[in-house]
Amino acid sequence: MIHPLFLSILVSTVLGFGLAIPSYTCIVMGNLDIIRKKGKLSPTDVIFLAKGIVNLLLQCVLSIKGMIFVFSLEIFTISQLSVLMETSIYFLIYYNFWLTFWLSAHYCTTITNLSYGFFIWIKRIVSNFLSHLLFLTALGVFMVSALDFWALNAGSLIQSSVNSTNVSVISLVFSYYVAVNALGVILPFCLSLLCLVLTSSFLLRHVWRVKNNDSGSTRPNLQAHVTALRTIFFLLLIFTFFCGYQVIYFFPSPSLSVVFGNLQLFSPSVEAAVIFQASNKLRRTIVRRFWTRSWRNTET
């Protein structure tokens, strides 16, 4: 009989895979269909396409890890394989977090129209050099993940050997681990949170000015701006669950580890729902694509 811990991981793995793979396949195919018809994507669609590819790969790696954990736990005793899998997961997660920041920065600079030189520069590079920017970000995250690979590999070697210098090496590994998480998690989280605060405060001031305007002008439609704020908020909420999982890493708790581990398996599926609610264009493209296909099947 399967242990309840393994059963919960197995159920989360299967459900997460079953929900995420079709969702991100639709996201990727929908954006490719937009490229085929219009020739180019907007900055938000480019980031959603990148998120779709990254989360598709992430869900596959997480599902493989979950299956190995349930059915072949002894494979994790192979330190190199385990470290390589963990590093791949963290690379995809870190890159996804930086994609969240660039999406937040795009929303912030587009909605707020701040006149500061830094925000004008961010708006210009996001609008004109987004593909180059995402490539350079991936390259930087890869270098950070390589550092993470070294730290995890050194930690596994320490656990399998006894050496008088282990204390100094462990402190060095810990400092590298903190540096990697600072660059891969804390920095994009703080920047995304700053964008959320700036965008929210700008919209609140704008609504207050419109509400107290005596000119009788028609109030603008802020639905797109509210959708952007909601998108950033939900993505940061997913961010927070991962940060909680990292805290559990330093303060082990079996029950909390299971809870946050299962939430991590579902995080790509939740993010797919956030992307769908954020893009009306993507929803229309996917509905039109499947509606046309089902209509053709009915005709034949």
The set of residues, in sequence order, having a beta carbon less than 8 Å from that of 276 and lying 6+ positions away, is: 23, 27, 282, 283
Q: Which residues contact 235 (CB under 8 A, 6 or more apart)?
A: 100, 103, 104, 192, 271, 274
Place of tokens 């509905």: 287
Note the pLDDT of residue 164. Answer: 44
pLDDT average per 10 residues of sequence, the chain (300 residues): 72 88 88 82 89 92 85 68 80 92 89 73 81 92 79 57 54 72 87 90 80 57 82 87 66 68 82 88 72 54
Cβ atoms of 14 and 97 closer than 8 Å: no
The tally of domains found in the chain comes to 1
3-state secondary structure of 218: coil
Q: What gap in Å lies between CA 92 and CA 141, rounded to an integer? A: 9
Q: How far apart are CA 150 and CA 9, in angstroms?
A: 28
**What is the CATH classification number for the domain harbouring 41?**
1.20.1070.10
Q: What per-residue confidence (pLDDT) applies to 51? A: 93
Which tokens belong to 209? 């000015």
Let me know if 168 is exposed, middle or buried by CB neighbors in 10 A (0-12, 13-18, 19+): exposed
Whole-angstrom distance, CA of residue 93 vs CA of residue 258:
19
User: What are the structure tokens assigned to 228, written together?
Assistant: 């952007």
What residue type is 236 in one-letter code?
L
pTM: 0.85
Domain span at residue 103 reads: 4-299
Residue with tokens 């927070």: 240
User: Which residue has tokens 């919209």?
Assistant: 203
Termini Cα distance of the chain: 48
User: What are residue 75's phi and psi, to 5 degrees?
Assistant: -65, -30
Which of 227, 228, 233, 226 lies closest to 207 in space, CA to CA?
A: 226
